[in-house]
Amino acid sequence: MTVRLRDLLLGFRDLRLGKAPVIVHSSLKSFGQVEGGPETAVNALGSIFASVMVPTFTYKAMITPLAGPAENAITYGSGADLNRMAEFFTPKMPADPLMGIIPETLRKYPHAKRSSHPIQSFAGINTDKFLESQTLTAHLAPLGLLEQSDGWVVLIGVDHTVNTSIHYAEKLAGRKQFVRWALTPKGVVECPGFPGCSAGFNAIAPDIDKFARKVQIGDSTVQAIPLKMLFKAVITRINKDPLALLCQQEDCERCNQIRKL
Ligand SMILES: [Zn+2]
């Protein structure tokens, strides 16, 4: 089955989000074959949604120092090989392939802009005020502003393990944040407020299912969730159980650190 621009336009329109701003996490492959590739998907997103933001994170710019603060879920001095391969962050650095091809395509879209956090930047179309709210110490601020603007998260063929907005809600619930470091042309920059692990985030799905709007486009299930409801659900869960939404991997440094605290 081949998905065409028209299928994408009709599908995204069926979510009925009006002029609400959206943050999109996506897998292009989830649709099956898309005529015109990622450009078609970005055109459809830009046509239907008034404001579209995507994560354009750049993990290649991260480095592990020899020493740093305690209880930081990192093995200092362990990253020598990765440090050697680290690249200086610049605004033109491609988004990490983990984000999928749609964010990288959107980043290069004619009217798109990108924020400047060296690890966790966002790009968007008509999202200037959200992008401008980001600082080095408040790198998830664009997601908070999206929530205040009655924004939605749109998950295209992906699950909550990539739903960055849950990290912002975790922070609001008082969950521990970490410090990470990025290589930039101005030197190594400390990036506080780095979130925990997201591998356990699918546990939130039953709590928000009743607020989710779902459509099928090609082989992909596309769902939209109002950020206000998502934040409320995450904060409620963590208030009830401080270990909620952590992953079960025995060697997960960040989840284990939170358990220890
Ligand atoms: Zn984990």
Statement: residue 237 has pLDDT above 90:
yes
**Ion ligand 1 — residues with CB < 5 Å:** 197, 199, 247, 252, 255
Residue 261 binned pLDDT confidence (cut-offs 50, 70, 90): confident
Kindly give the distance from the C-alpha atom of residue 125 to the centroid of ligand 1, in angstroms, as a whole number: 32
| Residues near 163 by beta carbon (within 8 Å), at least 6 away in sequence | 25, 153, 155, 198, 201, 230
3-state helix, strand, coil in the chain (%, to 5): 40, 20, 40
* Share above pLDDT 70 across residues of the chain, in percent, rounded to a whole number: 100
- The predicted pLDDT at position 208 comes to 97
Kindly give the distance from the C-alpha atom of residue 200 to the centroid of ligand 1, in angstroms, as a whole number: 7
Kindly give the distance from the C-alpha atom of residue 162 to the centroid of ligand 1, in angstroms, as a whole number: 13
Give the global pTM: 0.96
141-148 vs 165-172: helix crossing angle, rounded to 10: 90
Kindly give the distance from the C-alpha atom of residue 250 to the centroid of ligand 1, in angstroms, as a whole number: 8
- Convert the pLDDT of each residue in 73-107 to its tens digit: 999 999 888 889 999 999 999 999 999 999 999 99
The stretch 149-173 carries a mean pLDDT of 98
- The predicted pLDDT at position 128 comes to 98
- The predicted pLDDT at position 7 comes to 98
- Convert the pLDDT of each residue in 134-149 to its tens digit: 999 999 999 999 999 9
Kindly give the distance from the C-alpha atom of residue 198 to the centroid of ligand 1, in angstroms, as a whole number: 6
Kindly give the distance from the C-alpha atom of residue 48 to the centroid of ligand 1, in angstroms, as a whole number: 35
- The predicted pLDDT at position 39 comes to 98
Kindly give the distance from the C-alpha atom of residue 120 to the centroid of ligand 1, in angstroms, as a whole number: 19
Kindly give the distance from the C-alpha atom of residue 251 to the centroid of ligand 1, in angstroms, as a whole number: 8
User: Other C-beta atoms within 10 Å of 42: how many?
Assistant: 28
- The predicted pLDDT at position 81 comes to 84
